Structure 1
Amino acid sequence: MEALAVTVLEKLSSAAYKELEIIWNLKEDIERMKNTVSMIKAVLLDAEAKANNHQVSNWLEELKDVLYDADDLLDDFSVENLRRKVMAGKNIVKQTRFFFSKSNKVAYGLKLGHKMKEIQKRLDDIAKTKQALQLNDRPMENPIAYREQRQTYSFVSKDEVIGRDEEKRCIKSYLLDDNATNNVSIIPIVGIGGLGKTALAQLVYNDNDVQRYFELKMWVYVSDEFDIKKISREIVGDEKNSQMEQVQQQLRNKIQGKKFLLVLDDMWNEDRELWLKLKSLLMEGGKGSMVIVTTRSQTVAKITGTHPPLFLKGLDSQKSQELFSRVAFSVSKERNDLELLAIGRDIVKKCAGIPLAIRTIGSLLFSRNLGKSDWLYFKDVEFSKIDQHKDKIFAILKLSYDHLPSFLKKCFAYCSLFPKGFVFEKKTLIQLWAAEGFIQPSNDVRRVEDVGHEYFMSLLSMSFFQDITVDDCGDICNCKMHDLMHDLAQLMVGNEYVMAEGEEANIGNKTRFLSSHNALQFALTSSSSYKLRTFLLCPKTNASNYLRQSNVLSFSGLKFLRVLTLCGLNILAIPNSIEEMKHLRYIDLSKSIVLKDLPPGITSLQNLQTLKLSDCSELEILPENLNKSLRHLELNGCERLRCMPQGLVQLVNLQTLTLFVLNNRSTNVNELGELNNLRGRLEIKRLDFLRNAAAEIEFVKVLLEKEHLQLLELRWTYDEDFIEDFRHWSSLPKRVIQENKHRLEDEKILEGLQPHHSLQKLVIDGFCGKKLPDWIGNLSSLLTLEFHNCNGLTSLPEAMRNLVSLQKLCMYNCSLLEERYAKPYGQDWRKISRIRKVEILPMRPSLLKYFT
């Protein structure tokens, strides 16, 4: 709530609105609204603390609704002003037409003034009621101070699971039993939520002995939907939504005669017949195959287990204290403070040995950097409330949520729109938070994405997220949310957020955020849908994914939408009427596999920050002159994209550009020269179109100033038509590329594409030169270096010895290098033997799997 009030106040106080005060003579209205919101904001903390009172709770709901409406109106105000400035630059005919249109200055001013007075009346009523409710002023949290209290994070990884050594040994003894008589045995792990069932299963699953013992290892998150087809598809990795008979056959072929380990995580199904149907599919496995089932239900353990179930208990007091100390204390001095330790022991006792509760409460104390008196208050006052709750574990999680600053509460609540077990991409989550205005502006030079990263890390460090994965550069890329945390998020959001599961969605007039698997038509035609700010549609894989044109056209009713996700739909076309959705900040059309182009109207979206088009495999062209507000343009997997749009050089705010495509009409990479804010990944394709201008490219150095790029892929076109028919592969001779006329051109091009020395991963594909440029040796931060289809390359430069950070070197279909650097007798093997991982293969691993 505070974050929303702050957003409204910031807009009312900004320079842009002062300008509009004059244009529409609204100075008094704006000043009055600002004063009223400021007065109400001052009592918000007190109101939220008294939210158990029904009247106060209703007051907060009414306030939230009017603040959303005020924010929508002010945003509309801003967009209209920006649109008028753009139109002012057009010719006089357009200006005249614009003046006599329905949205001319006079008409819009009257309409705006009427709406502001309407909202002001509602705010006045709310302000009067606050006195009757006896709400008092309280100072708000300072988000900057909150972040700066500690700069480290107390996150404990899954590899640091504490106090489960005995349980791990027990499960391993079952798994590694050479005397097993059954083809497939099932080991249930049973316990209440938060005990660490999944963490224990992960610990065993990733054990080196276990990894070596089983031919196949598979992991499926089941949750409360026991869909045999879905589980089978996940086991075999089927992405084509095949029929059940086909999936069954794929499953049998995959496991037949092989000793496998399968983890079925978080299983709730208590229907024995359903379980037996799945079990029958698994019986084709080799002797000694094992299934681990994690569940909260003893009934599930009874119907599945062939081994006695392992009933997980809480940690003992010593292990509980050890875990608490790891997350609550940052330095040895604190860990040796006897008074703090004694208080900590009393706090830990109330956690009943539940690891999730211990981590959550320890992380809370760590994040707030509290002194001894604060710890005592926390123990005697805050924790005393927990004893009054039947579900003490959930009460502990709720306590941690209550202590979040309001801006983090909004970010956490947003996660309720996604299903349990969902894999969150950190980058996407931050983009969504930014689009919704949840990220408060920084007082320094940090980007909104940097502040968003701090928000994410704060939630992670307090155990609101878990199960992280990292990318090749060691950065966190994905995470999950514990089921109990997901339950907490859904409990906290009320009717403001709706995650529709069935054919219909219960959308009220206060619903602002909606996600759906298949309630598309209802969502778009609902009379309440015009207030939506987020609409996420991610259909299930077995749903009909074709989006009818008539459905798309009804988007015009969602006029206040900030976030639109239509992911994995077979969208034939996006209508030009999307320009009416002028508040849009975020559009995700990823995996729209039949979409060929975008409407020109998308360039009219003055606020658009993120446009995701990844894996739109048929997309051929982008509209010209995309808006300067764009910060993230994701195009990876757009294999048919012919060229880049004109005006790319004007996108000075662009930070993400995953793909840059060249063609014979656009052979200039100079447009990249001004985009020095690019970061993350950049792939430049079809570099062979630069050969005619190789002499100029050699000295351009368009990538040299891009210090934030982490991953760079430089690709020339390589003819792989001969790979299409895999059946005749054995009859094809080994491909030998002779030195050709392109050698010198490619060497000059690569010389001109020198990246910044901070680059961490470099991929060079289809390069026809014989030698690499000297700048390779300057990449002091390089972790991974890959060469694909570089059959003219005769050797690696001596400067490779300067790459002290290099951890991985890959050579795929590089015929001359293959023999020279072969392990262990290759002529130059010793020059690269120090690198931790060297991979030399006749083709990329993704292709090699078809021939093995």
Structure 2
Amino acid sequence: MDEGVLFNIAEEIIKTLGSLPAQEVALWWGLKDQLRKLNDTVTRIKAVIQDAEEQAQKQNHQIEDWLMKLWEAVYDAEDLLDDFSTQVVRKQLMPGKRVSREVRLFLSRSNQFVYGLRMGHRVKALRERLDAIETDSKKFNFVARQEEGASSTTAREQTTSSEPEKIVGRESDKEAVKIFLMNSIYEHNVSVISVVGMGGLGKTTLAQHVYNNEQVQAHFGVRLWVSVSGSLDVRKIIKGAVGTGDSDDHIKVERGGNRISELTRHVSFDTELDLSLPSAQHLRTLALLQGGKWDEGAWESICQDFRRLCVLVLSHFGMKKVSPLIQKLKHLKYLDLSNNEMEALSNSVTNLVNLQVLKLNGCRKLKELPRDIGKLINLRHLDVGCYLDDDLCENLVYMPRGIGKLTSLQTLSCFVAAKNRSPTSKKVGGLNELSALNELRGRLEIRVKEYERSSCIFEFDGAKLKDKKYLQSLTIWWDLEEDLISDIILYDKMLQNLQPNLSLQELKLRGYKGIRFPHWLSELSNLVSIHLIFCPRLKHIPPLDKIPSVRELLIMHLNNLEYMDSEGGGGRGVSGFFPSLKKLSIYNCPNLKGWWKKSRDEMSDDNDESLKEMLCFPCLSSLSIVDCPNLTSMPLFPTLSILILLRASSMPLQQTIEMTSPISSSSSSSRPLSKLKKLYIYFIDDMESLPEVGLQNLSSLQQLSIRGCSRLKSLPLPDQGMHSLQKLDISNCREIEFSSQSKISYCHGELRVIEYRVGRFPSWLSNLSNLVRIHLQNCRGLEQIPPLHGIPSLEDLYFGSMDDLEYIDSEGVGGRGVSKFFPSLKKLHIFDCAKLKGWWKKSRDEMKDDSDESTKEMLCFPHLSSLRIEYCPNLNSMPLFPTLDEGLYLIKISSEPLQQTMKMTSPVSSSSSSSSSSSSSSSSFIHPLSKLKNLRIWAIDDMESLPEVGLQNLSSLQQLSIWGCERLKSLPLPDQGMHSLQKLEVVFCSEMKSLSESQGRIPYLPSLQELILKGCSEELSGRPRGWEKEAEKEWHTNE
């Protein structure tokens, strides 16, 4: 147990009993004196809790028993407190003119008297228990601590339920921390990240967002959150960490496990919800972590047996309705019904007056919220999802009248504004319901579905978003009926009246069909992120460069947009133009021509480079331009780290890359694009080349990807300058030709070339000594490839759809030693090379007459782990592959390479095997293919059998699959050797008659778990010796 919780609950009891509404209710029931005495007792006990906890660490069992009694009494006090809070709320509901009949009946004089007596007995009994506990404490001589000291050394836990807020403007910081955690190169050392800053900057919030990130959760099996504040007490910190990881107070039941005791208060289930729990009446938390199938009878069990629940999580159940019995869970503070299938939420939920969190996100069939939702005056977080997170309650048609009474609400993920003249309009709440919800914070999405013209302007102004000073993010999404789409003036007025507070950090507008933006947009001086999506009538947007804090700008689907700024202020200096902008994304703006109307015309005839340099983003690090084919001029972007151009003009890139004047010292003293790390150029129709002098500046470039540029003819890669390049991808650029004069030696990771139509690759390909992966595909007309065997770091090699390739290396050097021939290659994949005959032209001819097995052994891959050869019917000779361990997949090729490898008799050097590190002798004998785990042989037309001596070597083989080998007659599986085989599959081999030397029998395969025989000769039958499975689910006979 965690005595810090005892301290917090005790403090909460004192706080609640001292509140003015509680004192008024106590006066009604004649309990004021009793509650005062209870308050005094709890205060005295609270003062000694810390000292008691410290003495209990010395294995004093009497003190532990005392704390156990206190623990139980405090939980009962918490229940009493909740009952008391419930009556306080009901009293607060009285002054209204429309108080429910149930509340009026409960608060009648006769019922007050009866209930007051019952509450009096409960308070007296609890006070007597606590008095006895306090009396017992005196024999332990506990030292009372000052309240300040206790507060500073006790790690406080929040007693209120809350939902995480979205952080705005810190996404890059969050990503950086996440990448550091997940990509740490230190396996044994503890990595520490220090986040330093003054109070209130959001250090803890940032850490919480990283801690709760789904990728981080998946990466780390166990996560612990330990809060350290106030004075540093190492013992308490360690105890807190241990307590967080394993506590009897919180049990996770996995697959039927059960270790629930009477002290257990929080239970979560891994798979199935088991409601037959001991001591269910004591539980505070009940959660199912992974969803399941809902049993409608479960509601009765939960609501009858789990009366003290404070937290109930029933998400992803497919639940279609919520039982009215839920109102019996009067202590409930956190209710998660997300991702279920109910169309309506029972109005009885509104009787849960202590409820603080209600999660309904992902309930896509939900049409309406409870009509009396205004009774939930303690509700702080209402989550109905939002469009941006794709968990919106998309069928929610309106918000109920009275939701504006929830003045404690801090989270409201979405407000559906839908006011019309329908019969249900009287219970529909308009946007003016937001008027008093000034505690809203985090993110708010307003979805405007339909509205009466007569009330629209008035109620939009009544939302008073300007008063929401804690709101960080605002999304306004118009989804109006067709008859309102044409009312341009209405759109302008709606947006004008939704002016937010100046503290807003993120603004997203979607579906706005006005023709101008209100003046207040340029006044939001704290904006960090702006998204403008589906605004079809806008021809320009207001000058956003005047907002100094903007770091992200997204423009998407603005079909009429011609210029970003029609004022034509082209001469602004670097320091005053978007001084903080880091990320700019422009998508699908087909008519966008330029940034400034005036400057675009001027720049076409202006050769003054200094003027062009002034028209640049000083801090921009990420730029994406997609589907903007007419965008030919814009501010330059010399400081970029990431550039994505897709179906756009190459002019902005050409202008930036050709900059000759130095970049302003306010941003960098380096050359333009010298910080660029990733460059993606896709489907650019007007680009024929890139300047070599500009490419030399790309000293930080790590990835260069050019695809679908049909007019690109040359890519003059410089001999020097691009020394950081790790991936070069040139795909579907049919006119491109690499210069054979270059002496390129960089590119440290991957080379990917697709649709290269020139007859040969340049010789510099063999000089890329640091390459790890090479992918060559669909290079029609290519008859040969430069020698690749000497690239020492090459691990992964792919050839695909090379129609004219006959030999991979035409030089025909057949006698290379193992140590020099592809020394690091682990994966080789050859696909659809119809004319490919062999690896070397010369060695193939020589090997026909060469009987020297030692020569053949030398022609092998020393470290190859996985080999795939598919649809190469003429390939009948290649380097051998005795060291394979991961897999060998042969589809529609000759069986010669496999036969030659299996028949190898000379020893395989241990230096060429995957186990070289454990070998003590460089010449120790290793059988060929003895490490192979998976072997797939499909549609091999020339294979009639496999050598038994070769099959004996397959001691590690786990899966053997043979399909469609019509000439295969026998597969002489040995009686010994294949002891690891788990799956044997022989399908559509019509001539197959035997799997062993014994006709029709299958040899002893001790590990076999699955046997599939289909479409083979009728003579092939029986079961293998040692096959003991009674339930032969995987046994298939010939059909």
Q: TM-score, normalised by structure 2?
A: 0.45
| Contact 1:691/1:746 (8 A) holds in 2 | no
Residue from 357, 378, 384 that aligns with 1:635:
384
Instruction: Look up the match of 2:451.
Output: 689
1: CA distance, partners of 2:456 / 2:25: 51
| Contact 1:694/1:748 (8 A) holds in 2 | no
Instruction: Look up the match of 1:325.
Output: none
Instruction: Look up the match of 1:622.
Output: 369
Residue from 130, 135, 150 that aligns with 2:137:
130
| Contact 2:357/2:380 (8 A) holds in 1 | yes
Are 2:47 and 1:42 equivalent residues in the alignment? yes
Q: CA deviation at 1:550?
A: 0.7
Q: Which structure dedicates a bigger proportion of its chain to helix?
A: 1
What is the percentage of aligned positions where both structures have the same residue? 29
Are 2:553 and 1:809 equivalent residues in the alignment? yes
Residue from 52, 62, 70 that aligns with 1:63:
70
Residue from 251, 256, 280 that aligns with 1:529:
280
Residue from 9, 12, 16 that aligns with 1:4:
9
Residue from 298, 312, 319 that aligns with 1:564:
312
Are 2:339 and 1:597 equivalent residues in the alignment? no
2: CA distance, partners of 1:779 / 1:693: 27
1: CA distance, partners of 2:32 / 2:501: 50
2: CA distance, partners of 1:369 / 1:39: 23
Residue from 265, 271, 291 that aligns with 1:512:
265
Q: CA deviation at 1:77?
A: 2.8
2: CA distance, partners of 1:91 / 1:815: 52
1: CA distance, partners of 2:412 / 2:257: 37
Are 2:569 and 1:574 equivalent residues in the alignment? no
Q: CA deviation at 1:109?
A: 3.2
Instruction: Look up the match of 1:24.
Output: 29
Instruction: Look up the match of 2:476.
Output: 714
Instruction: Look up the match of 1:760.
Output: 505
Residue from 111, 116, 120 that aligns with 1:109:
116
Instruction: Look up the match of 2:357.
Output: 610
2: CA distance, partners of 1:529 / 1:29: 30
Corresponding residue SS for 1:506: coil
Compared with structure 1, are the counterparts of its residues 69 and 683 closer, same or farther at alpha carbon in structure 2 (3 Å cutoff)? Answer: same
1: CA distance, partners of 2:174 / 2:445: 32
Q: CA deviation at 1:641?
A: 0.4
Q: TM-score, normalised by structure 1?
A: 0.55
Structure 2 gap segments, 5+ residues each:
1-5, 156-172, 195-212, 386-391, 421-427, 562-588, 601-611, 629-643, 648-682, 684-706, 708-1039
Q: How does 1:643-682 map to 2 (within 5 A)?
A: 643-665=398-420, 668-682=430-444
Corresponding residue SS for 1:546: coil
Deviations 1:62-101 (A, max 9, x none): 1111111122123213323543664787789868965899
| Contact 1:690/1:749 (8 A) holds in 2 | no
Q: CA deviation at 1:681?
A: 1.2
Bigger radius of gyration: 2
Deviates more, 1:786-795 or 1:693-702: 693-702
Give the counterpart letter for 2:532 in structure 1.
Answer: F
Compared with structure 1, are the counterparts of its residues 159 and 774 closer, same or farther at alpha carbon in structure 2 (3 Å cutoff)? Answer: closer
Corresponding residue SS for 2:79: helix
| Contact 2:105/2:111 (8 A) holds in 1 | no
Give the counterpart letter for 1:60 in structure 2.
Answer: L
Deviations 1:770-829 (A, max 9, x none): 2222222111111111121112111112x3231221122212221222256567999878
| Contact 1:499/1:515 (8 A) holds in 2 | yes
| Contact 1:811/1:840 (8 A) holds in 2 | no
1: CA distance, partners of 2:176 / 2:515: 45
| Contact 2:449/2:481 (8 A) holds in 1 | no
Give the counterpart letter for 1:5 in structure 2.
Answer: A
Q: CA deviation at 1:536?
A: 2.5
Give the counterpart letter for 1:581 in structure 2.
Answer: L
Residue from 52, 60, 84 that aligns with 1:53:
60
Q: CA deviation at 1:17?
A: 4.2
Instruction: Look up the match of 2:518.
Output: 773
Residue from 251, 255, 264 that aligns with 1:502:
255
Q: How does 1:384-399 map to 2 (within 5 A)?
A: 398-399=235-236
2: CA distance, partners of 1:92 / 1:779: 44
Give the counterpart letter for 1:647 in structure 2.
Answer: G
Give the counterpart letter for 1:683 in structure 2.
Answer: E
Deviations 1:263-311 (A, max 9, x none): x6669xxxxxxxxxxxxxxxxxxxxxxxxxxx9xxxxxxxxxxxxxxxx
Instruction: Look up the match of 1:742.
Output: 487
Instruction: Look up the match of 2:970.
Output: none
1: CA distance, partners of 2:35 / 2:458: 56
Deviations 1:726-747 (A, max 9, x none): xxxxxxxxxxxxx973322212
Q: CA deviation at 1:139?
A: 2.7
| Contact 2:431/2:460 (8 A) holds in 1 | no
Q: How does 1:320-399 map to 2 (within 5 A)?
A: 367-368=229-230, 398-399=235-236
Give the counterpart letter for 1:601 in structure 2.
Answer: S
Deviates more, 1:630-639 or 1:689-698: 689-698
Compared with structure 1, are the counterparts of its residues 561 and 828 closer, same or farther at alpha carbon in structure 2 (3 Å cutoff)? Answer: farther
Q: CA deviation at 1:619?
A: 1.0
Compared with structure 1, are the counterparts of its residues 630 and 399 closer, same or farther at alpha carbon in structure 2 (3 Å cutoff)? Answer: closer
Corresponding residue SS for 1:104: helix
Compared with structure 1, are the counterparts of its residues 809 and 147 closer, same or farther at alpha carbon in structure 2 (3 Å cutoff)? Answer: farther
Give the counterpart letter for 1:559 in structure 2.
Answer: R
Residue from 535, 538, 549 that aligns with 1:790:
535
Bigger relative CO (Cα 8 Å, ≥ 6 apart):
1
Structure 1 gap segments, 5+ residues each:
149-155, 172-188, 200-218, 224-233, 235-263, 268-294, 296-355, 371-381, 383-395, 403-408, 410-484, 721-738
Q: How does 1:128-167 map to 2 (within 5 A)?
A: 128-142=135-149
Deviates more, 1:669-678 or 1:109-118: 109-118
2: CA distance, partners of 1:806 / 1:96: 54
| Contact 2:449/2:480 (8 A) holds in 1 | no
2: CA distance, partners of 1:699 / 1:47: 57
Q: CA deviation at 1:531?
A: 1.9
How many residue pairs were aligned? 531
Q: CA deviation at 1:840?
A: 4.7
Give the counterpart letter for 1:586 in structure 2.
Answer: Y
Q: CA deviation at 1:45?
A: 2.0
Give the counterpart letter for 1:502 in structure 2.
Answer: R
For the aligned residue pairs, the C-alpha RMSD in angstroms reads: 4.5
2: CA distance, partners of 1:135 / 1:142: 15
Deviations 1:131-185 (A, max 9, x none): 333333333445776799xxxxxxx999689x99xx98xx6xxxxxxxxxxxxxx
Deviates more, 1:135-144 or 1:502-511: 135-144
Instruction: Look up the match of 1:459.
Output: none
| Contact 1:808/1:838 (8 A) holds in 2 | no
Q: How does 1:98-497 map to 2 (within 5 A)?
A: 98=106, 104-142=111-149, 190-191=187-188, 195-196=190-191, 367-368=229-230, 398-401=235-238, 485=241, 487-491=242-246, 493=247, 495-497=248-250
1: CA distance, partners of 2:88 / 2:282: 22
| Contact 1:787/1:810 (8 A) holds in 2 | yes
Compared with structure 1, are the counterparts of its residues 143 and 643 closer, same or farther at alpha carbon in structure 2 (3 Å cutoff)? Answer: farther
